Amino acid sequence: MTRRIRGHAMGPHSLTRRKLLATGAALGAGTALGSAAPAAARARTAAGPGRTVFRLPDGFRPGCVGDGRFNLLYFGSLHDGAVHRIDPATGEGTPVHRGTGGPAVALQVNWQTSLFIAGGASGELRAIEGSTGAVHGIYPLGGTGAYASDLIGLGAGHYVTDAARPYVHLLPYGPFGSLPPPPGGIVTLPLTGEWVQGDGPTATGITYADDGGLIVLNSAAGALYRVDPKTGDAVRVPHHGPSLCGADGLRTLGGRLYVVRPERNAVDVLRLDPATGSTTVGRLTDPDLDGPGKPAVDRSRTQLCVPNTRRGTPPTPTTPYTALSLPVEDQNGPGPGGGTMPAS
């Protein structure tokens, strides 16, 4: 019998985990007990025009954030997959989910606050009830060496990129938003066509295109690809601007793409045009960005919330962590307070 979420509706290019885990060592190793850290109350600081700093529990190690109903923010821990919720209006924080042991590398919230979590080197997609933290299902991506890197909900279900192998995986919706009974149900689409698989982390970001297709970030090639959500056929998007090599995370807002650049403590702003491809039009920066993780666009469509992973800081149970809510440009122009500068 199909389980419903309450209120919700080895391929030839596979690789060993050595390079992938070396890149993600700062994301998956450490001893901080994020789920056991106390909730941060009133953890909100207005730090400039249109800019807010949120304080997360010490030792939490945020790697991703998703935006849910009532504009609530849900943060996932790279340590153990715990989830912490913050009300951006008050800054009050609440633990939601203690975690399953595997990291939360990317997180999406559906319209009824069910959480979908990409589990990195655990090679799984997890479905969590956002209000109670109950685990509805754990879905292995299949095969060996899978790395669940990023995800997006689109039409048929949730699509997950595999950073270690040339695949996109789909967890399909059934009637009324039901999900297949775990651990089965994952549909694997090989990335074909013009896709080029690197020897390190490759498919590290995914979002939707205005035409209903998928945009997948190829971090190894430093490029974007349009991917058919039914077949996996990939077409490279011409890119005008700095290479996207090393980028990790991708979000859409109107005609803009926001590409996370952890190594530069920045988020590149791209314009996507069906005729000309992608063009870098700016860079979102802030003095307090420190190893930005997977972001979320809030429902006002004027802010980008970015967790600070602090990749260069050894994690401990008392290491402080924050997230920033920064003004962004939407399809109508700059958000309040600006916040972008030309990319170099």
The mean pLDDT of the chain is 83
Strand 321-327 with 214-218, pairing: unpaired
Which tokens is 208 given?
Answer: 């939707």
162-176 per-position pLDDT tens digit? 999 999 999 999 888
Integer-rounded Cα Rg, in Å, for the chain is 18
| Amino acid in position 4 | R
Q: What region, left, alpha or beta, does residue 294 occupy, with left being phi > 0 and alpha being psi -120 to 50 degrees?
A: beta
102-152 per-position pLDDT tens digit? 999 999 998 667 899 999 999 999 999 988 999 999 999 988 899 999 999
The Cα 93–Cα 72 span in angstroms is 10
The Cα 331–Cα 21 span in angstroms is 37
* Residues forming beta bridges with residue 337, ordered by sequence position: none
Q: Is the dihedral of CA 180, 85, 147, 253 positive or negative?
A: positive
What pTM, to 2 d.p., does this model score?
0.83
CA-based nearest residue to 307, from 36, 119, 55 = 55
